[in-house]
Amino acid sequence: MRLYLLLIGLTFAISFLLTPLVRRIGARVGPSEVRERDVHKSPIPKLGGVAMIVAILLGLAVASRMDFLQGSFRDPGPVLGVLAAAILALVIGVIDDLRDLSWYYKLGGQILIGAVAVSGGIRLEAMPVGWIGIPSGPAQWLLTVFLIVLTMNAINFVDGLDGLAAGVGAIGATAFFVYCYWLARTINQYDNSNFAALLMALLLGACLGFLPHNFNPAKIFMGESGVMVIGLLMAVAAIMVTGDVGAQEGYRFRNIPAYMPILLPVAVILLPLLDLALAVIRRTANGRSPFSADRGHLHHKLVDGGYTQRQAVLVLYLWSAIVAFGSVAFIFKEFDWHIIVGVNALLTVGAAILTMWPWLRRSVSARRQRRGM
């Protein structure tokens, strides 16, 4: 654990220190234009994802020299696949930040990133509920690429307020890291190295290091490269965890709900996935392309409802934390599941009241005015 914490601190420091430099470069080559759906009022540099990806790659290089983590590098295929995919995300993301690519070019780039990761051996080989095998070959490739592209776009859909995507990424990476590290300790008490846990530790540090520069009022945006690397690493970790669990004897995990390997990845990005699903339904119902932009996302609703940017982001942080940590809590047999369910229910009710508070307050005020008349 201490080495993982060291890597989190290292990637945090690199991301935090490198972001101001990237910001100055971004201000020179072209800050983002203010669009109708944006909430910021003046141009802000993009390219923040460059600092995040560099921090992750340097952290990966340092981790490869640590004896304790050599088990994560025993099979070089997935490591090289993630490395190449992250570099490709960096290149495509920078091009998009500077040239504002059309949606079909971005989608093609995301598919290419997924294909590069799959070529390194990162593939979904079984459905984690009942361990239903997926036929080798094209089916594994297609499903894996689909999951990677889906996760990238889900993260992209919440990247609309200062600090939102970076914070949600940090919360998800923390919950996922806890699960992956616990899984590694359960599998082998003498070797706690786990590539998925390593990726989540690096992602956590990079997001936390970038967040102080990106929280409202933001000095820089992460841009497309940051969004894609968060989605890439989240998806890769979920796929690799599925393989780790599926390869073990069932009796070792009899205390884990059978759905945990699929529940946790979904829970970690539930908020982005929900926003993505609602956006597709909304745009399709209006006769528009699902990839077209609008101002109907969850974070826009909160701001339009009366929350400030910071308040809206903190509310969405709260929802992300409740779902992610509320799910990962089930893996610890020290906690009675009845208590976990009860606490989650109370937190959910509290978060729902807090979310609806501006509307509830206006409703109460309107009723009082009608009574006064």
Annotated binding site for Mg(2+): 156
Helix or strand run (H / E) with residue 280: helix 270-285
Question: C-alpha 184: how far from its chain's center?
Answer: 21
Query: Nearest to residue 170, comparing CAs of 317, 53, 373, 350?
Result: 317
**Geometric angle at alpha carbon 160, from 52 and 358, rounded to 5°:** 130
Strands 132-133 and 126-127: antiparallel
Annotated binding site: 156
Tokens read off for 171: 């919360």
Helix or strand run (H / E) with residue 76: helix 76-99
* Residue ranges in 188-259 assigned as alpha helix (H): 195-214, 223-246
* 65 contact partners, CB below 8 Å, separation of at least 6: none
Whole-angstrom distance, CA of residue 280 vs CA of residue 212: 31
Is the bond preceding 217 in cis, omega lying within 30 degrees of 0? yes
